[in-house]
């Protein structure tokens, strides 16, 4: 098997794993505790308890026309991975429902752990360019017809679904649904961006060459000199830019302080770095 096909198989495998984790989050925690945390799964949960339809069946019944509508209105925007992930989630959710039992009957625990597991699964799916469909598709249509920003449109859709669930299940479960939605969004960010933050350092000094040589020699990190102008003095200045790990930031501070105690040093978090010395592209 060629490396290209190995990569494709790996990506689909990870999307499948993400879908499986999402479905487990629904069946272990959210659906049994009537926590409808937005999206088509939230609508599916409400429909399930009102009329008995399987949640996955409802998700499929909503996602398919939504994909068709978005494609018709906005043109082909989705790859095969997105369609695969969204359709597979509906199927797997109902399959797991037949073989799993709820882990807890405590709504708070269900909101926390269900939101975490669903966020982990959706984040993994999105990381490999898959999709679980749902409210994202509705938000795209709202954005197209009203020019409301995507983030706001998505918030409107999920909030509307949770309020609908609150009418059916009561306000307390709606509050748990908001909590679960918040936790899942943070979990998605965690999977997408990771936790191993690096640091970016910007250094303005009268001794840029000496500081750069010290960093490159002692830390083996590349340093880039950016051309800047002091707006008050109108003097040309070199601004050193370097990315280091969190463990190396103390060494950067010590080097700069030792070489030029009057240097101006700015340190900020960097979510992800791709390139030599860091993660591969």
Same domain, 43 and 174: yes
Q: Looking at the structure, do residues 133 and 219 belong to the same domain, yes or no?
A: no
Predicted confidence at residue 207, as pLDDT, reads 92
Residue 247: which CATH number?
Answer: 3.30.70.120
- The number of domains in the chain is 2
- Residue 250: the pLDDT is 85
Residues 89 and 60 in one domain: yes
Residues 148 and 265 reside in one and the same domain: no
**What pLDDT score was predicted for residue 81?**
87
In the structure, what pLDDT confidence band is assigned to residue 281 with cuts at 50, 70 and 90? very low
The C-alpha torsion from 8 through 10 and 13 to 14, rounded to 10°, is: -110
Cα gap 161→88, rounded to integer Å: 22
210 and 187 within one domain: no
Q: What is the pLDDT of residues 224-262, one digit of tens each?
A: 999 888 878 888 888 999 998 877 888 899 899 999 999
Domain end among 193, 208, 231:
193
For the segment 31-60, the average pLDDT, to the nearest whole number, is 95
The sign of the CA dihedral 122, 127, 128, 134 is positive
Residue 281 counted as domain residue: no
Residue 280 lies in a domain: no
Q: Which residues constitute the domain of residue 237?
A: 198-270
CA neighbor of 49 nearest in space, from 66, 30, 22: 30
Do residues 126 and 261 share a domain? no
Q: What is the pLDDT of residues 47-101, one digit of tens each?
A: 999 999 999 999 999 999 999 888 888 887 677 888 899 999 999 999 999 999 9
- For the chain, the average pLDDT equals 89
Q: Pick 143 or 212 by higher pLDDT.
A: 212
3-state secondary structure of 121: helix
- Percentage of the chain with pLDDT > 70? 93
Q: What is the pLDDT of residue 87?
A: 92
Instruction: Give, as one character, the DSSP assignment of residue 27.
Output: I
Q: Which residue among 193, 218, 236 closes a domain?
A: 193
Q: Is 24 part of any domain?
A: yes
Does residue 39 lie within any of the structural domains? yes
Tell me the mean pLDDT in the region 106-116. 97
pLDDT given at position 90: 95
Q: Are residues 153 and 55 in the same domain?
A: yes
- Which of 193, 221, 252 represents a domain boundary (last residue)? 193
Rg (CA), the chain: 24
Mean pLDDT of 127-147: 85
Report, as an integer, the average pLDDT of 141-162: 86
Mean pLDDT value of segment 123-146: 86
b/e per residue 128-157 (b: at least 16 CB within 10 A): bebbbbbbbbbbbbbbeeeeeeeeebbbbb
């Amino acid at each position: 098997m060629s490396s290209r096909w190995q990569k494709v198989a790996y990506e689909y495998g990870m999307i499948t794993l993400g879908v499986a984790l999402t479905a487990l989050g629904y069946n272990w925690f959210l659906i049994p505790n009537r926590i409808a945390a937005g999206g088509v799964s939230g609508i599916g949960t409400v429909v399930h308890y009102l009329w008995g339809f399987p949640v996955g069946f409802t998700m499929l019944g909503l996602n398919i026309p939504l994909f068709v509508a978005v494609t018709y209105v906005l043109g082909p925007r989705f790859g095969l991975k997105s369609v695969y992930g969204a359709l597979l989630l509906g199927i797997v959710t109902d399959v797991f429902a037949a073989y799993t039992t709820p882990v807890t009957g405590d709504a708070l625990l269900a909101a926390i752990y269900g939101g975490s597991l669903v966020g982990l699964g959706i984040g993994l799916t999105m990381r490999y360019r898959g999709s679980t469909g749902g409210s994202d598709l509705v938000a795209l249509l709202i954005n197209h017809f009203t020019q409301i920003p995507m983030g706001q449109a998505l918030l409107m859709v999920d909030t509307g679904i949770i309020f609908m669930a609150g009418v059916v299940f009561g306000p307390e479960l709606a509050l748990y649904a908001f909590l679960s939605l918040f936790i899942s969004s943070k979990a998605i960010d965690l999977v997408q961006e990771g936790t191993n933050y690096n640091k970016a350092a910007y250094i303005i000094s009268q001794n840029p060459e000496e500081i750069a040589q010290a960093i490159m020699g002692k830390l083996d990190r590349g340093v880039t000199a950016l051309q800047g102008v002091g707006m008050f003095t109108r003097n040309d200045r070199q601004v050193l830019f370097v990315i280091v790990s969190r463990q190396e930031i103390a060494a950067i501070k010590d080097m700069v302080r030792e070489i030029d105690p009057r240097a101006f040093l700015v340190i900020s978090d960097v979510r992800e770095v791709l390139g030599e010395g860091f993660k591969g592209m």
